[in-house]
Structure 1
Amino acid sequence: MNMSRPKKQIILGHYLGGVNHQTVWSDPAAGSQIDFASFRHAAVTAERGRFDFFFLAEGLALRERQGQIFDQDVIGRPDAITVLTALAAVTEHLGLVATVNATFNEPYELARQLASLDHLSGGRAGWNIVTSSDAFTGQNFRRGGYLRREDRYVRAAEFLAAARRLWDSWDAGDVVADQEEGRFLRRADAGAFAFSGRQFDIGGRFAVPRSPQGQPVILQAGVSAEGREFASGGGPDAIFSPYHTLTEAQAFYRDIQQRSARHGRPPGSTKILPGAAFVLGDTEADAVERHREIARAQISGRGAQILLETVWNRDLSGYDPDGPLPDVEPAPDDPPVIQGRARIHQNASETVAEWRAIAEANRYTLRELAIHVFGRTEFVGTPAQVAQRLDDFVQQDGSDGFIIGSHLTPTGLDEFVDKVVPLLQERGSLRTDYEGTTLRDNLGLPALAERVAV
C-alpha cells in the first residue's frame, strides 16, 4: 500500500442475484425474484449501508440444455430499466445500474430510456454495457444472431459513441421557461444530432433534454484484449473484474490504469470493481463451516456438471460429481450443449488443462472444482475479519471496491450492512453519509463539462 496517498474510499455496489448458480432459491428464507417488494428491500438496505449503487443483470432468453429449459435456474426476471425506474421513487441517493445489451438494442431508444431514468432519479442512472454474438439469444430479435464475434466491440464502441452524441445534443441551459408567454423557449439546434459509422447511420433530434449527470455512468465487464482496450480507451467509467486473488487483481488493476494513461485519461478515471460475496460467523471456524454449507447449496452435484458442461461442451451427466474431473477433452466446435449462457472461457482446451492442474493440486472432486472456479471473491470470517480483508484488498490496489452479492434474495445483504458496514466506517474507508447528489459524484468520477465536444 502506498502510505503517501490518502486512504481510498471503498466503492460498494449491490448485485441482486437472479438467473445464476449463486442464488439459493431453494432456501426457505428466499423471496420472489419478480415481486417488487424483493427489489425494494434490497435497494433500501443497500442505501442504508451507504452503497454507491444497486445493480441488475439481464437475461434476454431462457437458458436451455440440449433443447430443454434449464431446471437449475430461477426462471425469468423483469426488465432491468423498468425495475430501476420504480426503485428511483423509493430511494434518494443510491445509484441505479442496468445491464443492457448493445447488440440487440438501438442507440436512440436506449439513450432515451437511460436519460429518462437519470432525470427521474435526480442523476443516479448507470448502464452496464454487454455484448453478444449468440445466435440463440439473437433469435428473439429481428436481426437474429447475425453479429460476428469480432464485431461485438466494434458495435459496442459505436453504440456508446452514438448514445453520447445524443446525450450531448442538449446543453444544460437549452430550455428556458417564459412565464409571461406561458411557453418554453429553446435553442434552435437543441437536440439536433447526426452519427454515421459501420454499425449506425442516424440523425434527427433527441427528445430528452440534458440529464442531471450529463451522461449516465458507464460500466462494462470484459477482460479480453479487446475488452481491456475498450475499457481503458474512453469507454466505461468502471469495469467489473473477475479476478479472485490479490495478485491477479493487482495485475489487472495496473494494466487498466496503464492503458488508460496511454489513452490520456487521468488517474482514477476507470474504477475496477470485482464481484464479491461474504459469509459471516461468530468465529472464523463458524464462518468457514457456514460458507461450506452455502457453497454446496449454491452448486449441487447436478449444477456442477452443468457448469462444467459450459466449457467441455459435452454431456457430463454420467460423471460422478463427487469423483474426478471428466477424462475426455472438450468439444468446442460441436453444437452447443448449453444455450443462452455467456461464454467467458474462450479457449476450452487451455481452461480444462488449468482446471485439471488445480484439481490435482488440491485433490478436488468435480463438484469441488466447480465451486472453486465459478465462485466469486469470497470474504469469510467474523465481521471484523471481513471488514479488514475488504479494506486491505482495496488499499493494496486489488480494486476500487466491490459488487457485493449474497446467496439469499432479498435479505442477504442485511447482515453485511448491520455488521460489516459500521466497521468499514470506523476504519475511515466507507462514507458515513453521501457526499454528492449524483452517482458520478459519489463514485468520485471526473465531472463532465456542461457540454462535451462531439
Structure 2
Amino acid sequence: MTKQVHLAAHFPGVNNTTVWSDPAAGSQIDFASFRHLAETAERGTFDFFFLAEGLRLREVKGRIHDLDVVGRPESLTVLSALAAVTTHLGLAATVNSTFNEPYELAKRLATLDQLSGGRAAWNVVTSWDAFTGENFRRGGYLDKSDRYVRAQESLRIVRKLWDSWAADDLIADQVTGRFAREGAGAFADDGDHFRISGRFGLPPSPQGRPVIIQAGDSDQGREFAASGADVIFSWHGTFAAGQTFYKDVKARLAKYGRSEDSLKIMPAVTVVVGDTDADAVEKAAYIREQQVSGPTALVLAELLWGRDLSAYDPDGPLPELEPVVGSSVTQGRVGYNDPGPIVAEWRAQAEAHGWSLRETVINQQNRQTFIGSPATVAEAINRHVQEDAADGFVLVPHLTPTGLDDFVDQVVPLLRERGVFRTEYAGPTLRDQLGLRR
C-alpha cells in the first residue's frame, strides 16, 4: 500500500542551520517572520508548524553565544497569534516538563487547542543541565533518570486533566447552551513528583486533546515515545540509520497496545533545491560554508573537546589535545557523554580527506539532507517514506522566513502528482492531518 508523506515546518530561530549573512535573512523575533513561514507551510498543506524552546541564552566562556543575541520568544504566545492567521495548520510548541507544573502545562496547551479549533501539539522535552536551572527558583537539576520520571509523570497528569471533562457525561442546557456536570473537570493525582487535586478549567477541544510530540534518540527516549507520543521528532544521518530507527521504535508499540500507525516518525531534515542536481550541490556547499563560520566551528569543536580552543586556527588541523568530559566551556548546549570515539572519528575523516577543523565540522554535521532538483528531492523523500525510513519529515530551512518557499512551490506539486501528498487538508484538526484517532 502506498503511504502518504507527512511534512512539518520548523522555524529556524537561533540555530546553526540559519544563514545569518544572507541578504534575504529576516528577523528571528518579528511576528511577520513567523507568519510568513506559517502561511507558506499552510499553503503547502503541511501538518504542523514547529517551534523550539530556549529557557536560557547559550554562553561561550561567559559571553552570550552570537546566535542567541536576537533573543528567544515564548512559543505558546507566538503560536496563539498564529492561530488567528491560519486555519488548518497544526501549531506545535516545545515546552519543558522539568520547569513547568502539570496543571499550568495542561491549561496553557488546552487554551491554544481551544483557540485554534483543535490544532495544538506539545513537544515534551526535559532539561539536561543545572545552567538552565539557574533561571528558576529550584535551580533545578535532576539526574537523567529522574528527568524522564518527571516527564512521564507530567505527561500522565496532563492527559488526566485534559480527559477530566468527559464529553459523554456533559449535560447541555438547551436554553443557555452552557454545559454543566457534577464533578466536571475533577482530578486528583499522587505521584513521585506531584501531589495535586482540583478541577480543570477547560473542556476538550474538537480534537479531544493536543497531539504529543517527543524528541530523542536514546533508548529511554524511544521507550518514552512508544509509550505515549503521537509523533517522534528524531535525527538520522543516513537512509539505513532511518530504517533501523523506524523498525526499532515501531516494534516497541505493541507492548503498549498501540498500532504502528499510532506513532508518526518524522526526522528533522534540511533541503536544498536547485534548477538541476549540480546546481543544488553547488548551492548546498555554499550554504554549509555560511552556516559554519570559523568562530562557529571553534564553538562546536569546544562542545566536543570540552576545552577552550580559541587559540586554534579553524582553518588549521584538529587539536591534538584529548577531550575533557563534563566541561562547562560552552553552556546551554547538549554536551557529549563519551566524546573520545567521536573525536577519533573526526580525526580519521580529517586525515583521509585532508580537512581542516572547520571543514571537518561542516562535514560531520549529522542532519539528513535532501539536495537536488525538485524531482530528485521529491523522489528521495518519497523513497524514505515508502521504504520505512520515516513517515515524513520536519523541514528545517536555512533562511528565515523564506526558506520553505522553493520547496512548497516546486517540490510539493511533484509529491502531489505522485499521489503521496494531500492536495487539501483532511479535516479541521491536527489529528485529522496526522491520521490519528481523536
TM bucket, shorter chain: over 0.9
Aligned to 2:148: 153
Aligned to 2:218: 224
Distance in 2 between residues matched to 1:247 and 1:183, nearest whole Å: 55
Counterpart residue identity of residue 165, structure 1: K
Aligned to 1:316: 309
Distance in 2 between residues matched to 1:324 and 1:406, nearest whole Å: 30
Q: TM-score by structure 1 length?
A: 0.93
Aligned to 1:288: 281
Counterpart residue identity of residue 389, structure 1: A
The within-5 A match list for 1:50-449 is: 50-180=45-175, 182=176, 184-232=178-226, 234-334=227-327, 336-343=328-335, 345-445=336-436, 447-448=437-438
Counterpart residue identity of residue 352, structure 1: V
- Alpha-carbon offset, residue 25 of structure 1: 2.0
Distance in 2 between residues matched to 1:62 and 1:333, nearest whole Å: 19
- Judging changes above 3 Å, is the alpha-carbon distance between structure 1 residues 361 and 248 closer, same or farther for their aligned structure 2 residues? farther
Distance in 2 between residues matched to 1:179 and 1:147, nearest whole Å: 51
- Judging changes above 3 Å, is the alpha-carbon distance between structure 1 residues 338 and 177 closer, same or farther for their aligned structure 2 residues? same
Distance in 1 between residues matched to 2:169 and 2:342, nearest whole Å: 54
Counterpart residue identity of residue 156, structure 1: A
Distance in 2 between residues matched to 1:65 and 1:212, nearest whole Å: 45
Which of 63-72 and 416-425 deviates more?
Answer: 63-72
- Alpha-carbon offset, residue 176 of structure 1: 4.4
Deviation per CA, 1:199-223, whole angstroms, max 9, x where unpaired?
1111110011122222211111111
Distance in 2 between residues matched to 1:270 and 1:358, nearest whole Å: 36
- Judging changes above 3 Å, is the alpha-carbon distance between structure 1 residues 318 and 397 closer, same or farther for their aligned structure 2 residues? same
Counterpart residue identity of residue 391, structure 2: D
Say if 1:174 and 1:186, in contact at 8 Å, map to a contact too: no
- Alpha-carbon offset, residue 375 of structure 1: 4.9
Which consecutive unaligned segments of at least 5 residues does structure 2 have?
none
Tell me the secondary structure at the aligned position of residue 260 of structure 2. coil
Distance in 1 between residues matched to 2:203 and 2:354, nearest whole Å: 59
Which consecutive unaligned segments of at least 5 residues does structure 1 have?
1-5, 449-454
Aligned to 1:3: none
Which of 48-57 and 269-278 deviates more?
Answer: 269-278
Distance in 1 between residues matched to 2:169 and 2:28, nearest whole Å: 41
Distance in 2 between residues matched to 1:305 and 1:79, nearest whole Å: 29
Say if 2:378 and 2:415, in contact at 8 Å, map to a contact too: yes
- Alpha-carbon offset, residue 174 of structure 1: 4.8
Tell me the secondary structure at the aligned position of residue 369 of structure 1. helix
- Judging changes above 3 Å, is the alpha-carbon distance between structure 1 residues 314 and 133 closer, same or farther for their aligned structure 2 residues? same
Counterpart residue identity of residue 252, structure 1: F
Distance in 1 between residues matched to 2:44 and 2:118, nearest whole Å: 20
Say if 1:95 and 1:126, in contact at 8 Å, map to a contact too: yes
Counterpart residue identity of residue 77, structure 1: R
Distance in 1 between residues matched to 2:406 and 2:41, nearest whole Å: 11
Tell me the secondary structure at the aligned position of residue 268 of structure 2. strand
Counterpart residue identity of residue 332, structure 1: V
Counterpart residue identity of residue 193, structure 1: F
Instruction: Quote the sequence identity (%).
Output: 60
Counterpart residue identity of residue 93, structure 1: H
Distance in 2 between residues matched to 1:185 and 1:68, nearest whole Å: 54
- Alpha-carbon offset, residue 358 of structure 1: 3.3
Say if 1:34 and 1:78, in contact at 8 Å, map to a contact too: yes
How many correspondences in the alignment? 438
Tell me the secondary structure at the aligned position of residue 253 of structure 2. helix
Tell me the secondary structure at the aligned position of residue 178 of structure 2. strand
- Alpha-carbon offset, residue 425 of structure 1: 0.5
Say if 1:59 and 1:76, in contact at 8 Å, map to a contact too: no
Aligned to 1:42: 37
Tell me the secondary structure at the aligned position of residue 279 of structure 1. strand
Distance in 2 between residues matched to 1:194 and 1:172, nearest whole Å: 19
